[in-house]
Amino acid sequence: MKNQWTKIGFTVLVAGLLWWIFLYQGCNSGFDTKPYEQKIDSLENRIDSIKQENDSLESNIQYLEETNTMLTDRVDGLKDKIGDLKDELKDAEQALVYTPTQVDSFFMAAYPVQFASLSEDTTHLPLEVSKQVVVDVKQLIVSKDIIRTQDNTILTLDTLVKNKDLVIVDLRKKEQNYIAIDKDRVEQGKNYQIQIDGLKTDLKKKEWKLKFGKFQKVIIGVAGLAAGILIK
């Protein structure tokens, strides 16, 4: 009798243990994908922000390049002007063959205010000296224009160089941003893979639980049958 109750108790214990395992497996929550989905969404928001920054950088680069094109055209124009002014320097020497009337006309045109003022003083210069003065004055005027044009050329080139440096800086920022986007994409891929692996594990558990549930029913049925036989 004692042995029978021992067998019954063992059978009930096994059946209870199997039932507890089944309930425990049933109560286990599945793989939680939310933390990984939130991480992926957060990375996607950061990627979108970086893309917007790159769009802004690209717009700035285009603006700088358009400005540089205009500056380059301006530099070319200034260089042409300097070339024309240098030709004028040579042309100034044509005054060496001026007639007295041409010399007087030049000075009257160059210094109208002074010629308009009355003066008792009269100064007479030899014609050759006057013609050389005309040459020097013309060359001085042209030289001043050349200096101003060269200064403008230098300032324009300086701006051009600075703009090119800014373009390089923006291009480097874009490159760094693309690298950051690639890293975030890789991180997103890792989070997707974790979810896939977790869901696969969940699926395997569910398949195992279904198989175990069927097996458990058989065991419980057999245990119940055995208990009924032993009690008799």
Q: Total structural domains in the chain?
A: 1
Quote the Cα angle for 165-170-175, to 5°: 125
Is the model's pLDDT at 136 over the cut of 80? yes
Model confidence at 27, in pLDDT bands (50, 70, 90)?
very low
Domain that holds residue 87: 2-231
Question: Residue 26: pLDDT above 60?
Answer: no
Q: How would residue 95 be classed by pLDDT, with cut points 50, 70 and 90?
A: confident
Mean pLDDT of all residues in 80-97? 89
Q: How far apart are alpha carbons 16 and 89 in whole angstroms?
A: 115
Better pLDDT: 75 or 130: 75
Q: Helix H segments across 111-126?
A: 112-116
Q: Which of 121-125, 142-146, 149-153, 188-192 has the lowest average pLDDT?
A: 121-125
DSSP 190-218: HHHHHHHHHHHHHHHHHHHHHHHHHHHHH
Residue 69's domain is classified under what CATH number? 1.10.287
Angle at 132 between CA 126 and CA 133, to 5 degrees: 90
